[in-house]
Structure 1
Amino acid sequence: MDHFNSFIANASLLEVSFLGDQYTWCNNNAGPKRIWLRLDRLLTNLARSLAFPNLKLIHKPRILSDHCPLVAIFQEPTRPSRFFKFCRQWTQDENFFDLISSSWALDTEGPPLVKLHKNLLCCKSAFSRQKQKKRRYS
């Protein structure tokens, strides 16, 4: 399993999030001998993930097989996506460097481009939270 996971990381693949039951396979045994596992997944690369951010995988109920059927859908966003705007004045804030350092120091896995993407998302979240806090106290 470690070889497979390292292949996924080295190939810069990302797992598409899913809806439905957590497990995709069952050995069809009864009682304590029954085994449930999540064997089936949908993997994509960063470019495809950014091109189709609303891609979801649905795990359908098992009927005739020991595997669940998988259906990929483009889920409409529940709210329109908002652009992130970096405010230059944030650099003057006394917590600016701490905010950047703590966001960037998170232990992310994967190839360099995936790590960069995840770290930037962490920074975006941290700045958005900071912005909301400032609005509440203003």
Structure 2
Amino acid sequence: MKSFITCNDLHEVGCIGPKYTWCNNKKRAERILEKLDRCLLNSAALKSSHRLGVRHLARVASDHCPILLNLLDFNFPCKKNIKFEDIWASIPASMAVVRDAWRRKSVGEFPQILNQKVNRSLKALCYWSRTKYKDLNQSKDELNKEILDLQLKEAEFGLLSDEDMWLLKTKIDA
């Protein structure tokens, strides 16, 4: 691996977040923490005018930390993508939001009309969810922060106490 990295002019980018990116999710002495995942960039990327930021996110649904690479000062126009949240389908009130958005008139060819209605529905659901479930999103962000704090504590001090291990497990399973 070292030979591959050297031959391809790759360099590891420093990061913020948990020191270890993988955990075998076992307890006490059987628990293993390692830095398996890395963000590698070539010299051209490192010399670019963009500031790079790498963050290890909290391990929640996997035994690996997701790695987020931010390109700061990137002047390309950024359009925010709206993604459908599965939770919306389980909330009966969301059907009314979609129905109202879908009923609005659209013009153009059938594929254009369909695209307009789908985009309008997604935007309406996103806005509705943000206003209606603001507390839920804040709780989710707080939970992720608490998980990350416990994982940082584990990386810094080694093993967590039984109470902290139980707390981490319950927060991840929440």
Taking structure 2 as the reference length, the TM-score comes to: 0.40
Asked which structure has the greater CA Rg, the reply is: 2
Structure 1 or 2: more helix by fraction: 2
Structure 1 or 2: more strand by fraction: 1
